Amino acid sequence: VAFPVYAEPLKRQIIDILKIQLEDNQSAVWVDEQLNNVFKSELASPDTPPIRAQQAIYEYLKRSIGQ
């Protein structure tokens, strides 16, 4: 489903949430050539901070409500 988002604040919020989802390296998985799920956390370098999208989105929305 595709639809236009004309309100700039909503557009920014959608983009921010999508970026957070894509940065998830704890719960997210890649599907390899054999259609196996490979956790992104297994592929991340040891110095990469853990990012859990659900928690990060919760914190993001909590901050935005406080504004």
Say which residue, 59 or 66, is predicted with more confidence.
59
**What is the C-alpha separation between 58 and 66, in angstroms, rounded?**
12
Which tokens hold the place of 47? 């110095």
pTM: predicted TM-score of the whole model, two decimal places: 0.73
Which tokens hold the place of 53? 């999208």
pLDDT in tens, 1-58: 999 999 999 999 999 999 999 888 888 888 889 999 888 777 777 788 888 999 999 9
Return the pLDDT at 67. Answer: 65
